[in-house]
Structure 1
Amino acid sequence: MTWLSPERLWLLLAVAALAAAYVIAQRRRSRYAVRFTNLKLLDRVAPKRPGWRRHVPAGLFLAMLGLLIVGFARPQAEVQVPRERATVLVAVDVSRSMLASDVAPDRLSAAKAAAVEFVGDLPEQFNVGLVGFAGSASVFVPPVTDRASVNAGIARLSEGAAGRAGTAIGDAIATSLDLLRGEDAPSARVVVLSDGANTSGQDPVEAARLATELGVPVDAISFGTAAGTIEGGQAVPVDGQTLQAVAEATGGNYFEAGSADELRAAYADIGSSVGYETEVQDVSARFIGVGLVLALIAALASMFWFARLP
């Protein structure tokens, strides 16, 4: 938290002085009261009152002053605010290894279900596009706001639907960036999901360099486990090194998901960063508002317990 007028915080010393003066006054009052030996007179000078209750209004009043001073110093803080517009490209691996059943019912089916949830949670004004990739990359849905079209595209994702065998992560990123060139949205992001390393097509490092030049972060999700196998018993363990390198190079986030729940959590984290941006805003109203509430509580407590305002 920062302050536009930090010098005003010195006024808190006055609040501290008032608190100290209150404590001293209460102690003097107690010492003065015990000088009277006449009990009837003592009752008149220092009648019995609820011990802790009589200090509540004063404490709330001092807290109110402190909060108002903090608000007067014009504090600023980073605040997450919804983006008005953005374009998100979702690239999903549809290579043969995505048929591994280490994630029920299989990696690809779980990925499609999580993608539908991810797209549905994005603000409706966002453009969303879909790219499928195996040995090459194909555009399934260009960036649109129509979620039904995107969901229909996700449903069409199937093993081999994006061309020859292989895993072309670099092509998937490059194809997504090509779709973003004609977009005028102030913010864009590519989200890539795969279970393996790049085996064909463009070098992912070169694609990451291009994404960095365009200012487009690439979030990457490595999906699957080390125990994955496909029909025939062929082992297809997850390999996320390439994805991690791409995410780090472009300023994106990297996630490892070994289950459908972990995948949904990864998409949720990405959605929170895509859907919101951080702004520095004046938050003095927070402190002033709480201070006024404390003032009201102090007044009510004093009236209820002592039939007077503090």
Structure 2
Amino acid sequence: MTESHDLMTLSSPLLLAVGLLVTAALAWVAAVSARRRAAALAAAGVAVPGGRRVNLGIGLTVAGVGVLAMAAAGPAAMVPVPRTAGTVILAIDVSNSMGADDVAPTRLAAAQRAARAFVAAQPDSVDIGVVAFERGALTTARPAADHSVALAAIDRLKIAGSTSLGTAIMVSLSAITGRPVNVGGDGTVPDIGYWPSATIVLFSDGQNQGAGADQSVTQAAEVAQRAGVHVHTVGVGTTAGTTVKVDGYHLQTSLDEDSLTLIAQTTGGAYHPASDAARLDGVADTIDLRLTVSDEPLPLAGGLIGLALALLTAGAALTVLRSGRVI
């Protein structure tokens, strides 16, 4: 998004130039006519009352024409307006543990409902994308102003696999930048530029699985932090937990708030606990997206037209009063 730093713009500068030339011509004609009339009356020995008033009337009329010319040029003042804008990636955990029912009806279903409410609360100025993640994250909807695409992607989410929070963040950053983002084989954190208007909202129970999972999360969070991307984490589940059936086995699963809090704190975001459906439904109101300030045009033509009409009316009134007294 580009920003203009001009204090004022004109939609038709040519009209302003023509209007000012006409105004100048009227002023010259009025001045010449007034001098000739005054000279002729003086030569005839006629005293003219109200001379100043008629000159003021003509001056107001000419000024009204000049202001009207300015209004015709379509002037607009550039006013800085703060608004919510940028890119938001909704990263939603679809691992096996999200099938747990400690948040009704299931963690995933509750997260989907909260994500839909979040999308519905955003203005068109926010581009929203969706990333589904388990061990290998997948971009299911690229960031777009058409929020119906994100809603459709949220509705398609299904349970599959195990959790990788680090991969979720990296794929979300890839969706933001439009190119693959990966940590080097030697652990080198890539420089992906600065994206201060981008935000990741991560819905998960925080259970990070696999070898080197903690290191992966730390590296991914560092990449986001360097890029200026805030990651807000939403904890879906309860710390008491429950069991979930996977491949015929019953596995204990509970909310890992520490991992989600660490991600949020590292990136400048916030952790939002949501241990029940009611708190999840209110997540959209608790996540603050950053405001951007852009210069937007404030049309001035209406006010100038009003001023021009006032000047023309005053000029006409003074001229009529002067004419009435002469007669």
TM-score by length of 2: 0.55
Map of 2:167 onto structure 1: 171
C-alpha separation between the residues in 1 aligned to 2:277 and 2:258?
Answer: 20
Show structure 2 runs of 5+ residues with no match. Answer: 1-80, 180-193, 295-327
What residue identity is the alignment partner of 2:244?
Answer: I
Question: How do 1:283-302 residues align onto structure 2 when only pairs under 5 Å count?
Answer: none
| Matching residue within 229, 243, 249 for 2:243 | 229
Q: Does residue 266 in structure 1 map to residue 308 in structure 2?
A: no
Q: Is the 8 A contact 1:112 1:154 kept in 2?
A: yes
What residue identity is the alignment partner of 1:172?
Answer: A
SS in 1 for 2:220: helix
Map of 2:272 onto structure 1: 255
- For 1:193-227, what per-residue CA distance to the aligned partner results, in whole angstroms no more than 9, with x for missing partners? 11133213671100011001100011011110123
SS in 2 for 1:178: helix
SS in 2 for 1:136: coil
TM-score by length of 1: 0.58
Q: Does residue 246 in structure 1 map to residue 242 in structure 2?
A: no
C-alpha separation between the residues in 1 aligned to 2:201 and 2:241?
Answer: 25
Q: Does residue 189 in structure 1 map to residue 204 in structure 2?
A: no
Map of 1:153 onto structure 2: 153
Percent of aligned pairs sharing the same letter: 36
Q: Is the 8 A contact 2:224 2:267 kept in 1?
A: yes
What residue identity is the alignment partner of 1:230?
Answer: V
Q: How many pairs are equivalent?
A: 193
Q: Is the 8 A contact 1:221 1:256 kept in 2?
A: yes
Q: Does residue 110 in structure 1 map to residue 110 in structure 2?
A: yes
* Structure 1 pair 135–182 and aligned structure 2 pair: CA distance change class (3 A): closer
Q: Is the 8 A contact 1:197 1:241 kept in 2?
A: no
SS in 1 for 2:226: helix
Map of 2:227 onto structure 1: 214
**Deviation, structure 1 residue 267:** 2.9
**Deviation, structure 1 residue 277:** 5.9
SS in 1 for 2:289: helix
Map of 1:134 onto structure 2: 134
**Deviation, structure 1 residue 258:** 0.4
- For 1:5-62, what per-residue CA distance to the aligned partner results, in whole angstroms no more than 9, with x for missing partners? xxxxxxxxxxxxxxxxxxxxxxxxxxxxxxxxxxxxxxxxxxxxxxxxxxxxxxxxxx
C-alpha separation between the residues in 2 aligned to 1:209 and 1:265?
Answer: 28
C-alpha separation between the residues in 2 aligned to 1:117 and 1:197?
Answer: 24
C-alpha separation between the residues in 1 aligned to 2:261 and 2:290?
Answer: 22
* Structure 1 pair 152–159 and aligned structure 2 pair: CA distance change class (3 A): same
What residue identity is the alignment partner of 2:148?
Answer: A
What residue identity is the alignment partner of 1:228?
Answer: T
C-alpha separation between the residues in 1 aligned to 2:279 and 2:118?
Answer: 13
**Deviation, structure 1 residue 228:** 2.3
C-alpha separation between the residues in 1 aligned to 2:102 and 2:122?
Answer: 28
C-alpha separation between the residues in 1 aligned to 2:101 and 2:260?
Answer: 21
What residue identity is the alignment partner of 1:248?
Answer: Q
Map of 1:99 onto structure 2: 99
Q: Is the 8 A contact 1:115 1:154 kept in 2?
A: yes
Q: Is the 8 A contact 1:87 1:185 kept in 2?
A: no
Higher Cα radius of gyration:
2
**Deviation, structure 1 residue 156:** 0.8
What residue identity is the alignment partner of 1:167?
Answer: T
C-alpha separation between the residues in 2 aligned to 1:173 and 1:91?
Answer: 8
SS in 1 for 2:241: coil
